[in-house]
Structure 1
Amino acid sequence: MKTKLLLTTIALILFQFAVAQTVYTVDNRPESGAQYTTVQAAIDAASAGDVIYIHPSPTSYGSVNVTKTLKLVGPGHNPENSDGLTADLSTIALHADSANSIITGLVLSNITAYSLGTNTHGIHIINNRITNYIDGYAFDGQSNNWIVEGNYFDAGSYLTDCIRANNLNNLQVRNNIIKGQISSSNHTNVFTNNLFIQEDPSGDAQVFVGSNGITSPIVANNMFVFTDADITGLSSTGTAITYTNCLTWKVAGGTPLPALSGSGNLDNTDPQFANIPTSLTDYYNNDYSLNAGSPAIGSATDSGDLGIFGRNFPYDINGRAHSMPYPEAMTILNTVVQPGQDLNVEFQATQKN
């Protein structure tokens, strides 16, 4: 009975994709009813443009190699939404001809481009929880035009280079919550409407760093919020950063931070988040939207809001895929089932815009 219900649920959720491309389901739990038990097997069977839907599981799906344009979809990264489970992978390695792939709704350690003169352009990384880093390192400039948005970068240390932008041109990093550093970014890269959280820096905090230095990326409409009263300023290696319409705030108080270089900035300004019950890093229990009257409302370069909800982006703290219907309610209509009788279930789903 459970298998029949699971397969019916999968069919309802994934129906919208069936017309345009093939959907492959993956679940490594015993007797799950999915088509594959490993993500790599589903990738190998798929054709360019297909969708791989990865079910939550207590066991990681390990590392995978993507060698064609695919959409890898998980259920979101908040365990409370899927009986305490998420769909976890260690490393997604992007190889030849994986250009324009989409990665969404997953918990990941690393996403890395392994490009040797091959095409890994146009990767879209959206609504994931990333516990280590993404790395666009590639030879011959073959990893351009990436979009990284709506993610939660939950690095183990604020010193982790969670976005390694070596040789990534036209990188757009927008509407993410980032605990960690940005490594080796250049003047073609844009960082906008992110919330940078530094937990334990003392002295100068360096968000933009790297052995190759930083060469003037565009940094606008971001929030830089620090939880340590000992922080004395925000600095970078390489070319000095020009901050445009950005906000700084020390949650713990203490000596005010020096003014950011640039224009339109809100220095030492409380963003007035809607609800932070305990701490700024208690992610799933926080509401990072802005209270009415917040100075960050309408203060962006486009006259929108600063932070993760700017650009009218529907930031989802649960990490659910924007284009994916997700279960909202399920009601069993006949709780007593006689032998041979069907179990009648009313299933309701909602699709995010």
Structure 2
Amino acid sequence: MKKIIILPFLFLTLLSWGQAQFVVQNGAKTEVYNNINTAITNAAAGDTLYLPGGGFSITNTTIDKTLHWVGHGHNPQETSATKQTRIVSSLTFTGNCDGSSFEGILFTSTLNFGSDGDDCVNVKLKRCRLMNALTMRYDNNGDPVDLNFHITECVLQGIVNAFNGSNCTIEHSLLFSYVLYFEGSLFNHNDFPALSGCSNCSSRDRIIQYSNNCLFTNNVFSYQFGLYNSNSCELNYNLFDRALPFDTLLSTHSGSNNIVSVPIADIYTSIENDAYNTFSYNNDYHLNATGTGTAQDGTPGVSIKGAASDGTDMGVYGTSNPYKTIPYYPHINTATIASEAVSDQLGVTINAEAQSR
């Protein structure tokens, strides 16, 4: 299986010193294009589209079929051999894109899912970075709709709006803006470092808004302003830099085993220039080994390490499968291609790191 997966990436790496190449794979059938728009047009529903490193603009910004998009990753420190895979166009994926997936891509503009009267469901985003807003439905008219939207190990810098979507999961991700209109969804092992651009927030500038019946477990809220216009959520084993964001007696929210009043400077291992509301690859979001807070039962001085429900850390680096930025597919660390052939042979040296997940 790994041999089949790695071939498109090795091929793209060999060609990355020339014109960008895009590989479309359908089972054993593989086709190569030198233009991303041609590759998208010719791909059939269900195909996998392997993207090289570089920045790409998509002409037809409305995608109308299920595709599986795979890039080289977004972390510049891990893509020195291939470059980041960046898509700079604002894109809309219609309701015909059910089951689409995205991995290892940096999106600089907005992503929108669904069309009028036809929701896009069963979408997966993994190890991507979204620098702008993510809208998961066309609108929020009517009752909640089961979207089964799954986001894992992503960096989300813009507003995330589910528009009354339910059965969504966000896990092992870093969120820097508002989370809106979620119903019956799960937020597990995420970090909410701070609201982007929010230096003097008002009472309404709260990161979770208009969300009901959601479960928040093992998250780190390190500059949180609570819940706004939300009801009946359950919050367990979370870390808060301030007090609980709900009244345990009077609120419709409930929860247990949370840790509160952790000084923001004591939460993370290292935040560059103390800019908590700005994402940086130089930040270390592992929990501070010496950080302490107050347990929900009032016990002071409890360690924030190993305090998640499974005995690991809260936040993105908890569980046995912590946050990564490298795509699941074998990652090319270095690639060296000789400038000229010797004895009709061109020297190529590629170092690729296989991953267990």
What's the TM-score once normalised by structure 1's chain length? Answer: 0.75
Cα separation, 2, equivalents of 1:132 and 1:46: 26
Following the alignment from structure 2 to structure 1, what is the Cα–Cα distance between the partners of residues 322 and 60?
Answer: 29
Structure 2 counterpart of 1:274: 269
Matches within 5 A, 1:203-214: 203-204=202-203, 205-209=205-209, 213-214=210-211
Aligned residues: 312
Q: Contact 2:95 / 2:115 at 8 angstroms: preserved in 1? A: yes
| Cα separation, 2, equivalents of 1:82 and 1:298 | 32
Q: For residues 12-49 of structure 1, what are the alpha-carbon distances to aligned partners after superposition, in whole Å with 9 as ceiling and x for unaligned?
A: x984267xx9x997999973354334434222222333
Q: Deviations over 1:210-267 (max 9, x none)?
A: xxx33231122111112xxxx8x42312426442221122xxxxxxx33333321111
Letter in 1 for 2:260: D
Q: Deviations over 1:105-147 (max 9, x none)?
A: 1121222222345462210011111111221214786661110
Aligned to 1:7: none
Q: Is 1:314 paired with 2:303?
A: no
Q: Is the 8 A contact 2:208 2:226 kept in 1?
A: no
Distance 1:247 1:167 in 2: 26
CA contact (8 A) 1:73 1:105 kept: yes
Q: Which residue of 1 aligns with 2:151?
A: 148
Q: Kindly state the Cα deviation for residue 278 of structure 1 after the two structures are TM-superposed.
A: 3.0
After TM superposition, give the deviation of residue 65 of structure 1 in Å.
Answer: 3.3
| Larger mean Cα displacement after TM superposition, 84-93 or 193-202 | 84-93
Note closer, same or farther for the CA distance 1:142–1:71 as it changes in structure 2 (3 Å cut). farther
- Partner of 1:16 in structure 2? 5
Mark the runs of 5 or more structure 1 residues left unpaired by the alignment.
1-12, 156-161, 250-256
Secondary structure at 2:40 match in 1: helix
Could you list the per-position Cα deviations for residues 144-197 of structure 1 after superposition, in whole angstroms to 9, with x for gaps in the alignment?
111011111123xxxxxx1111131200111111110011112x1111211112
**Corresponding residue number in structure 2 for 1:122:** 122
- Residue identity opposite 2:319 in structure 1: R
Instruction: Specify the alignment match of 2:335 in structure 1.
Output: 330
2:50 corresponds to which letter in structure 1?
Y
Q: Show the counterpart of 1:258.
A: 243
Separation (CA, whole Å) in 1 of partners of 2:45 and 2:61: 16
Residue matched to 2:96:
97
Letter in 2 for 1:307: G
Which runs of no fewer than 5 residues in structure 2 stay unpaired?
23-31, 247-254, 292-302
In structure 2, what is the equivalent of residue 79 of structure 1? 76
- Provide the rounded CA distance (Å) in 1 between the counterparts of 2:48 and 2:311: 37
Amino acid at match of 1:244: N
Deviations 1:272-295, CA, capped at 9 Å, x for gaps: 433334333352001212344553
CA distance in 1, matches of 2:145, 2:287: 39
> How far apart, CA to CA, are the structure 1 residues paired with 2:268 and 2:68?
33
TM-score, length-normalised on structure 2?
0.75
Residue among 305, 309, 313 paired with 2:313: 305
| Structure 2 match to 1:349 | 352
Query: Is contact 2:86-2:106 (8 Å) kept?
Result: yes
Partner of 2:228: 236
Tell me what 1:32 maps to: 20
What is the deviation of 1:341? 3.0
User: Which residue, 208, 212, 217 being the options, matches 1:215?
Assistant: 212
Paired residue type of 1:32: A
Is 1:28–1:38's contact at 8 Å kept on the other side of the alignment?
Answer: no
